[in-house]
Structure 1
Amino acid sequence: MNHPDLPGTSHSDLAPLMTTAPTVPPVASFAALELPAEVLRTLSELGVREPFPIQAATLPNALAGRDVLGRGRTGSGKTLAFGLPLLARTAGRRAEPKQPLALILVPTRELAQQVTEALAPYAEALRLRMATVVGGMSIGRQAAALRHGAEVVVATPGRLHDLIERRACRLGRVGITVLDEADQMCDMGFLPQVTEVLDQVHPDGQRMLFSATLDRDVDHLVRRYLHEPVVHSVDPSAGAVTTMDHHVLVVHGPDRYAVTTEIAARDGRVLLFLDTKHAVDQLTRHLRASGVPAAALHSGKSQPQRTRTLAQFKNGPITVLVATNVAARGLHVDDLDLVVNVDPPTDPKDYVHRAGRTARAGESGSVVTLVLAGQRREMSRLMAEAGIEPTITKVRSGEAELSRITGAKAPSGIPLDGGPAAPRPKNTNAPFRGLGTSKDTSRGAGGKSRKAGEARKLAEARKAARVRRGG
């Protein structure tokens, strides 16, 4: 049951959670499960032929009403692993106003929408109503959806808490509760709200918890709220996936913008991670001025903007998504074969989850991390903690080795939003402040600092004021 490559786990961690109650063995096909005919037909219509390992292991016990603790990396098929039994066991029932029958709790808006979209065809086939409850959207509309009746609610903890406080939602009739990406919810400080929810749902209901790691607060949730759970760990961590290549590219500081731009101009989609919202916006503007169809994703964007950006990245004209860690969990994009850490992560868990955006569902992919020479030792330590042995290569912009590893090529240079083309950063020895800071990176490109520019503007404003006063 335990997988040695899962971070934060050991056989001794799992031992107290093991149950002596009889469990149902894994299945080889969906047809072998007691799923409603409508669900089997929808699976066939959507081309879902065989269950992934986490599904084959957990579905029989979840359909039997057992509490389930499922651990596996993102992209392993967890949504259907908990979603199909939740829908099947709720089918045929009708929710009263404001009183859902099943609840799926997730850490981010994007994941909530993704889970809703993934389960919607099966819910429709079973004539179950779903409501998505997340921040950044109209709380009034969400309250109205609950008032009209929704059997299944997919929610983020903060917004669900707000609706409960407004008495727009009551959880006493929730018979099936799912915590997805439980470790991230705990990491984000949602533990008090999660325990508040679990204290309000039906005490004899079914609970399913899915997480990449079992440590600290997640362990607390499992021990307090899951009753004799069936434990399944069937997938390695993202770092152990054999179809994923890991590269550390050592770059010269002032050359990093040019290297990043050429990687972004490759054929195919690419996800670029940076540390701050300011750095994301700044790089996105530079890429678009260089002719690269890029878009920004971070918590400073409104939910409609974030939804539109993700849709364009998944299916439309955007080939480069520049994001903070808001995109590091739950985001699924077909055929995403390259993830780039423009700003190196500072935590092994962050690396694992960023990396998990590629090589999903058995596909292959590469993870590239850009580091300066002085960052190599710290990055080597982080990689070792994540259980990863990357290939380390020194690169420069325009080199064949960079293209071989990432598919990098020169951008068109034709601005996408009008205005002048972005100047190619000069490879000088001027100080480079890094893309992940709030400082103006144009210093490293031979330009003047923002501070100097602001001082000049202030002096000009004072001079103009003296002229107006006749001084």
Structure 2
Amino acid sequence: RELATQVRGEFADIAKAKGLTVKAVYGGTSVSEQSKGVGSVHILIATPGRLDDLAQRKMVRLDGVRIFVLDEADRMLDMGFQPQVDRIVRRLPKDRQTMFFSATLDGAVGRIAEVYTRDPVLHEVELEGKTVEEADHRFVPVGSHEKLTKLIELARAEEPDGLSLVFVNTKRAVDSLARQLRAEGVPTVAMHGDMTQQAREKALQRFEDKHVGVLIATDVAARGLDLDDITLVVNYDPPQDDKGYVHRVGRTARAGRTGTSVTFVTPEQLGDVSRMAARLDLHEEFEHEGMKVAAPRTVFSGSTRGRRSGLRGPKRRR
């Protein structure tokens, strides 16, 4: 939802100069309100659930679409939106241009790409861009009781000009950690899927305007963030997989700026996080903190695709 509003904002100035109209539709807001004028705009930016809903209610027709862009396709499928996207695609004219953006074309997402496109041309962008190369990757060993104190130290070091994005793995943890930080005098906002759209937009605006310096979020809630001023990403809880790490770190060191990614590692997480660091070629950064990379697990799999991300860390600190 946040990504839809941000993309609309980026389109607005360009569209105005070209005499085009733009509208964004997404869940968490009134269907009747968003349906106004939706059928007459030149550019419609939408989340799949809301667009599918509007189409089924016959509030918008898609048979006149000339260009169809599916962004963050892999994440949409991960979240279970394929049925909605399938229904949307069936309503589109066959004579159209389709642009399919995805972090990977492995497995199911690759098969879906073949179904949605016709005579496709593949453009690949390497992951070794400045977004990750300019980030300083740190893995910090902590006890569970030390995490809050360490986070407060890191967040305060970014004040007053930096922005800190903190990832946890559950909605309940978002609210709990935000309350603890506020109690310690650290201005903090939270964002997760159970909040109303209005509350999420308000929290994001306060963060973007630097009225608060810390945003606590889950992976899903933070996926739409596109801010150049985030100087610190903290994995308070480690990501679920390698791709999650790349997506999180990609929120800092943007637009040629530098940034820092800090991953807390408790003793029970040491093995999993160290193996992830090794797969991402970040073993030097991991071992720099005095920890050792665990031996790889034996995994039985019929495929060897997608094991390496191509992520490279910065030079080791002296």
Q: Tell me the TM-score range normalised by the shorter chain.
A: 0.7 to 0.9
Residue 145 of structure 1 deviates from its aligned partner by 2.6
Q: Report the Cα distance in structure 2 between the residues aligned to 1:364 and 1:178, rounded to whole angstroms.
A: 30
Counterparts in 2 of 1:317 and 1:394: CA distance versus 1, 3 Å: farther
**Equivalent position SS for 1:357:** coil
2:15 to 116, 123, 144: 123
Residue 394 of structure 1 deviates from its aligned partner by 6.4
Specify the alignment match of 2:255 in structure 1: 361
Contact 1:358 1:366 in 2 (8 A): yes
Q: Report the Cα distance in structure 2 between the residues aligned to 1:219 and 1:205, rounded to whole angstroms.
A: 20
Equivalences for residues 232-381 of structure 1 within 5 A: 232-236=123-127, 241-266=132-157, 267=159, 268-381=162-275
Residue type of the partner of 1:277?
K
Counterparts in 2 of 1:238 and 1:301: CA distance versus 1, 3 Å: farther
Specify the alignment match of 1:133 in structure 2: 25
Aligned length: 286
Residue type of the partner of 2:62?
L
1:388 aligns with 2:279: no
Q: Report the Cα distance in structure 2 between the residues aligned to 1:191 and 1:217, rounded to whole angstroms.
A: 10
Contact 1:198 1:225 in 2 (8 A): yes
Residue 132 of structure 1 deviates from its aligned partner by 0.8
Residue 299 of structure 1 deviates from its aligned partner by 0.6
Q: Report the Cα distance in structure 1 between the residues aligned to 2:215 and 2:112, rounded to whole angstroms.
A: 34
Q: Residues 260-313 of structure 1, C-alpha deviation per residue, up to 9 Å, x if partnerless?
A: 222222222100001111111111111112111110011111101111111111
Q: Residues 323-354 of structure 1, C-alpha deviation per residue, up to 9 Å, x if partnerless?
A: 11124423111221210000111211111111
Residue 243 of structure 1 deviates from its aligned partner by 0.8
Residue type of the partner of 1:341?
N
**Equivalent position SS for 1:235:** coil
Specify the alignment match of 2:4 in structure 1: 112
Q: Report the Cα distance in structure 2 between the residues aligned to 1:171 and 1:217, rounded to whole angstroms.
A: 25
Residue type of the partner of 1:360?
R
Runs of 4+ that moved beyond 6 A: none
Q: Report the Cα distance in structure 1 between the residues aligned to 2:3 and 2:277, rounded to whole angstroms.
A: 26
**Equivalent position SS for 1:367:** strand
Q: Report the Cα distance in structure 1 between the residues aligned to 2:16 and 2:282, rounded to whole angstroms.
A: 42
Contact 2:15 2:22 in 1 (8 A): yes
**Equivalent position SS for 1:265:** helix
**What are structure 2's unaligned runs of at least 5 residues?**
292-318
Q: Report the Cα distance in structure 2 between the residues aligned to 1:228 and 1:289, rounded to whole angstroms.
A: 57
2:82 to 181, 185, 191: 191
Residue type of the partner of 1:359?
A
Contact 1:238 1:355 in 2 (8 A): no
Q: Report the Cα distance in structure 1 between the residues aligned to 2:122 and 2:255, rounded to whole angstroms.
A: 21
Counterparts in 2 of 1:354 and 1:328: CA distance versus 1, 3 Å: farther
Contact 2:171 2:194 in 1 (8 A): yes
1:218 aligns with 2:109: yes
Residue 237 of structure 1 deviates from its aligned partner by 5.5
Q: Report the Cα distance in structure 2 between the residues aligned to 1:202 and 1:387, rounded to whole angstroms.
A: 44
Query: What RMSD in Å do the two structures reach over aligned CA positions?
Result: 1.9
Q: Report the Cα distance in structure 2 between the residues aligned to 1:158 and 1:140, rounded to whole angstroms.
A: 15
Specify the alignment match of 1:430 in structure 2: none
Contact 2:131 2:252 in 1 (8 A): no
Residue type of the partner of 1:236?
L
**Equivalent position SS for 2:36:** helix
Contact 1:239 1:355 in 2 (8 A): no
Q: TM-score, normalised by structure 2?
A: 0.85
Range moving further from structure 2, 382-391 or 121-130: 382-391
Q: Report the Cα distance in structure 1 between the residues aligned to 2:239 and 2:46, rounded to whole angstroms.
A: 28
**What are structure 1's unaligned runs of at least 5 residues?**
1-108, 396-471
2:38 to 146, 165, 173: 146
The structure having more radius of gyration, on CA atoms, is 1
Identity within the alignment, %: 44
Q: Report the Cα distance in structure 2 between the residues aligned to 1:167 and 1:237, rounded to whole angstroms.
A: 44
Q: TM-score, normalised by structure 1?
A: 0.58
Residue type of the partner of 1:205?
R
Residue 386 of structure 1 deviates from its aligned partner by 3.4
Q: Report the Cα distance in structure 2 between the residues aligned to 1:239 and 1:360, rounded to whole angstroms.
A: 7
Contact 2:166 2:234 in 1 (8 A): yes
Counterparts in 2 of 1:394 and 1:251: CA distance versus 1, 3 Å: farther
Q: Report the Cα distance in structure 2 between the residues aligned to 1:264 and 1:326, rounded to whole angstroms.
A: 22
Q: Report the Cα distance in structure 2 between the residues aligned to 1:294 and 1:253, rounded to whole angstroms.
A: 21
Counterparts in 2 of 1:394 and 1:313: CA distance versus 1, 3 Å: farther
Equivalences for residues 385-464 of structure 1 within 5 A: 385-389=279-283, 390-392=285-287, 393=289
Contact 1:212 1:237 in 2 (8 A): no
Residue type of the partner of 1:350?
G
**Equivalent position SS for 2:252:** coil
